[in-house]
Amino acid sequence: QVQLVESGGGLVQAGGSLRLSCAASGRLFTITSMGWYRQAPGKERELVARMPRGADSPVYADSAKGRFIISRDNDWSTVYLQMNALKPDDTAVYYCGVYAIGYYWGQGTQVTVSS
């Protein structure tokens, strides 16, 4: 099993930046993908960005391309999401999602972007 703890959400004005972190523990060697997802009120959870093990580059949602950067530690223990040029539409609960012989989710962290 894998345990995930997120941090870094908060309130920011439009155009600002935030950096989210997700610390993973447990059976890290079973992780094959780490990523970030978000869920806005009344909407389904959606992919923001993810990093598959062995892939040449991360996968980004169109809404994140050019503004967000996903990165991770070499040992797959932590995944980050640097969010720049934030917009009010980015307001959501952001979840760390890890696939490790099954999907594991963090508790979620609120990101609120004011106009």
Q: What is the pLDDT of residue 55?
A: 84
Rg (CA), the chain: 13
Strands 46-52 and 59-60: antiparallel
Under 8 Å CB-to-CB from 108, ≥6 apart: which residues? Answer: 6, 39, 93, 94, 95
pLDDT by residue (tens digit) across 54-77?
888 999 999 999 999 999 998 899
pLDDT by residue (tens digit) across 5-41?
999 999 999 999 999 999 999 999 999 999 999 999 9
Are 94 and 9 in contact by the 8 Å Cβ rule? The answer is: yes
Residue 81 has, within 13 A of its CA and on its CB side, a CA count of 31
Are 38 and 48 in contact by the 8 Å Cβ rule? The answer is: yes
Q: What is the pLDDT of residue 54?
A: 85
Higher pLDDT, 44 or 75: 44
Question: Rounded CA gap, 9 and 24, in Å?
Answer: 17
